[in-house]
Homo-oligomer: A and B are copies of this chain.
């Protein structure tokens, strides 16, 4: 057993190192493609860090409070995954919570929360602090399943890394951290076959901040909801996975349409579900616990405006409220603070929507079969599904083998339309992009949807 253990461990380490290396390498690459988008604010009592696994992709977001916060929770979803929520539901007005950790990876993402907790302990011990026990609240979204091939989920180390990288006053918006592979709004588009998923847009993590007198209020949210994001004019904000130019309807139209087609709806099975919105409301205003709890309830309820429907059986919605317990502000009553936070929550939901990468343009003129021939071959995704590329009569086609997902139906052949150097658009409802990857002139793999949600496959034939 020792032998095995050692070799298992070695293997594990190699995997970890590779992942780490890959992450660092790819992060670098990635940042060249999509301009970073941050909310900046002035709330230095809170440090925020993210960490991501490019293979996945998936990620985690750590909110670290060096001085501790008093916390409360409101759990409204049908399938919550949490760490320590009951401890902050008892009414203590004590600042024993040191971090809130949101992650992808469904229930496995909770490892990031415990990982961050242990990293805080390590830091405290290294600083000679006597009381090293760190209180951490955790929440997760389901970013696995049919939206990606890889089964990588945030782990202990990713949570620790996000903690170590945390800095004050800055929050990365969009497809970052726990929102790395979030999506929203499938409720209205559900149906058989991959084409239905074309209208399932990516979302991410959003934030908003406001100061009223001495009171600071920040709201952070990771939107992976069954419902769709709605703006203050009642308009659905995004309704296609890749195309931002698609005109989206009013939510009232979507609702009317759905009411007429309810027999085509999603069956639920036990356990964690595909959807969740995670929210954190932070203030520095002193509040009695009962009002911290009320704040959670009022804000969470208000989010039924920005995400419709909200708090369904399919969602695992969790909202935490925390206060650094610093300033008295008799001018801002608790329900008014909650009123402001409710509007911030709407803002945060809206800016959780990531900037989409520029779409490649279709190239005019046909290509010669000969030129296309170099792409022909079989490409394998993580988990074993594969795409067989053929070149024939000046056209490139792709045939998918493997489990159906949001990109491909099983054993369906897709036409690939040229769209710039090495890039092709898949002829389907979603118009996903394929880019062939070359090393020293050789096609060694292909990337599905280059950009934040890229998925790599290796050429195996």
Contact with A333, one of B84, B90, B110, B267 (Cβ below 8 angstroms): B267
Chain B minimum-CB-distance residue to A256: B343
CB-CB < 8 A to A226: which residues of B? 335
Encode A25-58 as 1/0 by CB contact (under 8 A) with B.
Answer: 0000000000000000000000000000011000
CB interface residues, A 127-164, toward B, < 8 Å: 130, 132-136, 144, 151, 153, 155-156
CB-CB < 8 A to A1: which residues of B? 22, 54-55
CB-CB < 8 A to A171: which residues of B? none
Contact B133–A93 (Cβ < 8 Å): no
Contact with A117, one of B2, B22, B108, B262 (Cβ below 8 angstroms): B108
CB-CB < 8 A to A125: which residues of B? 151
Flag whether A338 is at the interface (Cβ < 8 A).
yes
Contact B290–A332 (Cβ < 8 Å): no
CB interface residues, A 286-326, toward B, < 8 Å: 288-291, 293-294, 297-298, 300-305, 308-314, 316
CB-CB < 8 A to A132: which residues of B? 151
Contacts A303-B304, A335-B268; is A90 near B309 (CB within 8 Å)?
A: no
- The total of chain A residues at the interface (CB under 8 A) is 117
CB-CB < 8 A to A144: which residues of B? 133
CB interface residues, A 90-148, toward B, < 8 Å: 90-96, 106-108, 110-111, 113-115, 117-118, 121, 125, 130, 132-136, 144
Contact A80–B75 (Cβ < 8 Å): no
Flag whether A371 is at the interface (Cβ < 8 A).
no
Told that A114-B156, A212-B262, A301-B311 touch, could you supply 17 new A-B pairs with CB distance under 8 A?
Answer: A11-B14, A13-B13, A83-B110, A91-B289, A92-B290, A108-B114, A108-B133, A110-B117, A111-B114, A111-B118, A114-B115, A115-B156, A232-B234, A233-B234, A255-B343, A258-B339, A265-B336
Contact B82–A81 (Cβ < 8 Å): no
Contact A310–B314 (Cβ < 8 Å): no
Contact B18–A133 (Cβ < 8 Å): no
CB-CB < 8 A to A7: which residues of B? 18
From residue A275, how far is it (CB to closest CB) to chain B in Å?
A: 10
Flag whether A372 is at the interface (Cβ < 8 A).
no
Contact A94–B262 (Cβ < 8 Å): no
In the assembled complex, the Cα of A96 lies from the Cα of B125 at a distance in Å of 37
In the assembled complex, the Cα of A143 lies from the Cα of B57 at a distance in Å of 37
Chain B minimum-CB-distance residue to A165: B1
CB-CB < 8 A to A130: which residues of B? 403
CB-CB < 8 A to A61: which residues of B? none
Contact A75–B86 (Cβ < 8 Å): yes
Chain B minimum-CB-distance residue to A22: B4
Contact B15–A2 (Cβ < 8 Å): no
In the assembled complex, the Cα of A82 lies from the Cα of B81 at a distance in Å of 11
CB-CB < 8 A to A95: which residues of B? 270
In the assembled complex, the Cα of A114 lies from the Cα of B333 at a distance in Å of 33
Contact B134–A108 (Cβ < 8 Å): yes
Chain B minimum-CB-distance residue to A272: B133
Contact with A313, one of B83, B268, B308, B335 (Cβ below 8 angstroms): B335
Contact with A82, one of B4, B86, B233, B333 (Cβ below 8 angstroms): B86
Flag whether A271 is at the interface (Cβ < 8 A).
yes
Flag whether A87 is at the interface (Cβ < 8 A).
yes
Contact A259–B84 (Cβ < 8 Å): no
In the assembled complex, the Cα of A269 lies from the Cα of B86 at a distance in Å of 18
Contacts A11-B11, A13-B13; is A297 near B311 (CB within 8 Å)?
A: yes
Contact A118–B312 (Cβ < 8 Å): no
Contact B96–A270 (Cβ < 8 Å): yes
Contact A107–B86 (Cβ < 8 Å): no
CB-CB < 8 A to A133: which residues of B? 106-108, 144, 271-272
Contacts A121-B153, A271-B135, A343-B255; is A90 near B302 (CB within 8 Å)?
A: no
Flag whether A438 is at the interface (Cβ < 8 A).
no
Contact with A85, one of B86, B155, B255, B301 (Cβ below 8 angstroms): B86
From residue A427, how far is it (CB to closest CB) to chain B in Å?
A: 29
Contact A313–B298 (Cβ < 8 Å): yes
Contact with A80, one of B87, B265, B310, B343 (Cβ below 8 angstroms): B87
Flag whether A263 is at the interface (Cβ < 8 A).
yes
Flag whether A78 is at the interface (Cβ < 8 A).
yes
In the assembled complex, the Cα of A110 lies from the Cα of B85 at a distance in Å of 13
CB-CB < 8 A to A305: which residues of B? 304-305, 308
